[in-house]
Amino acid sequence: MPIHRTLASLLAATLFAALPAQAALPACTALDAVPDAVSKAPLLVLGDVHGTREVPAFVAAYLCAAARQQRPVTLALELPSKEQEALDAFLASQGTPQDLARLTAGAMWTRERQDGRTSIDMLRMIGQVRALRAGGADIRLVAIDAETAPARRDAAMAERLRAELRQGAGRQLVVLVGALHAVRTRGNRFNPHYESTVYLLADQRPLSLTVGTAGGSAWVCRGGAPASCGATAWDINRVDPAPAAAFSLAPPSPQFDGVFYVGATTASPPALAGE
């Protein structure tokens, strides 16, 4: 079993130095020209390819824009709900390396098979949420995944999101999940009867966007074994020609309402690395 270490020493200069405990809204990079159809969608779903630098950065920039506009947002992540207590504690903390270490001590962060959901850049994005909240932004962070039978997983996430919609009237619910969970249609190439999280929430009229890229790499798993995970060339989500803006609301297929475009991607390794 490898010995794991947090990347606190490596991230401190670039992450924690920018995260004041109590201050005015911190400097952040905001997305330009977010369409009203996106910013005003009560349920915005972003279908991700896990394990890139660019998708978490895009989400952080979207949250920065929302904070500047004083829009309340709940960000739902495809992390196990049992991580919620640790997330809440970190968001309320001073954001020190010790606080980071406590956050990343959970089973999701330390498991051997790392599929990109607990990458360095996902951790960085969570840190940016903490900074925005410390500066007064109204952002909630919820973990919506469940440890259940695979056939029940999407239904469990849909139930959690319904609860968030009921409790969060007036807030935008932004959901970052793997693109498989974000498709609007029933069935996929693996299972014609598959019902995704978004499919099960059709009555809530979600705006479901898939990630678009210029190709690149991602940290993905090709199988169930830990050794199957790693930085891999990833052109599946390539969009050519590139959209003129960050959001395109022209449906690329019946599965999605549009695309959020992040450009060329770079694989983001796990936030915990073996020594």
Q: What are phi and psi of 6, to 5 degrees?
A: -75, 160
Q: In which residue are the tokens 């169930």 written? A: 224
Cβ pair 11, 120 in contact under 8 A: yes
| Model pLDDT for residues 222-259, shown as the tens digit of each residue | 999 999 999 999 998 999 999 989 999 999 999 999 99
Percent of the chain with pLDDT over 70: 91
Look up residue 246 and give its two tokens: 């960050």
Distance CA 217, CA 200 (A): 31
Mean pLDDT of 119-144: 97
pLDDT band at 2 (very low <50, low <70, confident <90, very high): very low
The reported pLDDT for the residue numbered 32 is 87
The reported pLDDT for the residue numbered 21 is 41
Residue type for position 233:
A
Asked if pLDDT for residue 4 goes beyond 70, the answer is: no
The reported pLDDT for the residue numbered 24 is 73
Mean pLDDT of 22-48: 89
Q: What are phi and psi of 221, to 5 degrees?
A: -110, 130
> Measured in whole angstroms, how far is the alpha carbon of residue 113 from the centre of its chain?
18
Look up residue 156 and give its two tokens: 């469990």
Q: What are phi and psi of 99, to 5 degrees?
A: -65, -40
Look up residue 255 and give its two tokens: 């599965």
Look up residue 97 and give its two tokens: 């390396």
Asked if pLDDT for residue 46 goes beyond 70, the answer is: yes
Quick one: angle between helices 54-68 and 120-134, nearest 10? 10
The reported pLDDT for the residue numbered 25 is 77
| Model pLDDT for residues 148-182, shown as the tens digit of each residue | 888 899 999 999 999 999 998 899 999 999 999 99
Look up residue 41 and give its two tokens: 């969608």
27 CB burial (10 A radius; 0-12, 13-18, 19+): exposed
Q: Identify the sign of the CA torsion 108, 110, 113, 116.
A: positive
Q: Identify the sign of the CA torsion 124, 269, 116, 207.
A: positive
| Model pLDDT for residues 84-98, shown as the tens digit of each residue | 999 999 999 999 999
69 CB burial (10 A radius; 0-12, 13-18, 19+): exposed
Sheet strands (E) in 129-203: 139-145, 172-178
| Model pLDDT for residues 96-109, shown as the tens digit of each residue | 999 999 999 999 99
The reported pLDDT for the residue numbered 273 is 67
